[in-house]
Structure formats: structure tokens, C-alpha cells
Amino acid sequence: MRWLAAGAAAGIGAPLWAQKQPGAIDPMAVEVWKDPSCGCCGDWIDHMQENGFKVTTHDVGNNAVRKRLGLPEKYGSCHTALVGGYLVEGHVPAADVKRLLKEKPPALGVAVPGMPVGSPGMDGPVYGGRRDAYDTVLVLRDGSSRVFQSHR
């Protein structure tokens, strides 16, 4: 996984989805790019770890890596991750990531655009139990998307 992230972050090599090689990537390893002062990103990382993922963090922001990985801005959020060869953008629930890894669709990855209250990392006591409806979208290789999972 480290070679994939390093190559992607440097902007070299094939597109992310073309770099996947069977058996070459630990599907439970998560590489995250985020701002060092972002508390909700840390809460999302805790959520992923509580669900069995092994997380490595880069506290350098995520705008540059998101662009290099080819994710359209409209799907952007406060952190970007690579998991099992897929891009995971924003506050995507661990259950959705596990489903992505199980189903292995031909896609760039999944995203929860923005920062919806009630999503993992945006669900702490400061939000007073508020839960907004949101969708996890599957981002296809051509930049289009479809709903992967609705959260109501």
C-alpha cells in the first residue's frame, strides 16, 4: 500500500484503479491525508480503527493529493484516504468501506461530500445528537457517481 500512496501522492504512475494488483494491498490498511488541526478527521480515524482498520496519517492537508488522485472537487471533504486501492473521501462509514472492499466495483472509490452532521467523525456530543441524512456515493472512473449507500 505504501508504494501505491507514494506513487499517487507524487502524481506518477497509472491511475489509482489501474494500479491494483491482487494480493499486493492490505485491504485493512488506510492511508489518510488531513489537516493537522482537524478534530473531526481524528474522530473519523478513531471510527475506522474501532472497526478494524490500521491507519497511517499524513498531517499535510488533502487538497493536493485529492487532485493528484483524480477526484473531482464536487466530492471533496476534509480528509482523503486510500484503502485497498480505492480512494475514500470524507466521513464515509467503515461499513461502507468494508462493503466497497468486498464488492470491488470498477470505480475510483467512495465519498461523502461535505461534512454532514451525524456521519462518522461528525457525530460527537458537540452536535447534540443531530443526524442529517446523507449519501455515500460511488465515484466512477469517468468522474460520475451514483448512490452507494443512503444514511437516513
Overall average pLDDT of the 76-85 stretch: 96
User: What is the pLDDT, as a whole number, of residue 4?
Assistant: 43
The per-residue pLDDT of the chain, averaged, comes to 88
User: What is the pLDDT, as a whole number, of residue 25?
Assistant: 72
User: What is the pLDDT, as a whole number, of residue 84?
Assistant: 95
Task: List the single range of 5-9, 124-128, 148-152 with lowest mean pLDDT.
Answer: 5-9
Pairwise CA distance, residues 97 & 33, whole Å: 17
Pairwise CA distance, residues 60 & 52, whole Å: 24
Say how many CA atoms lie within 13 Å of 33 toward its Cβ.
Answer: 22
Which of the four pLDDT bands, split at 50, 70 and 90, describes residue 24?
A: low
Percent of the chain past pLDDT 90, that is, above it, reads 81
Q: Is the dihedral of CA 147, 102, 141, 56 positive or negative?
A: positive
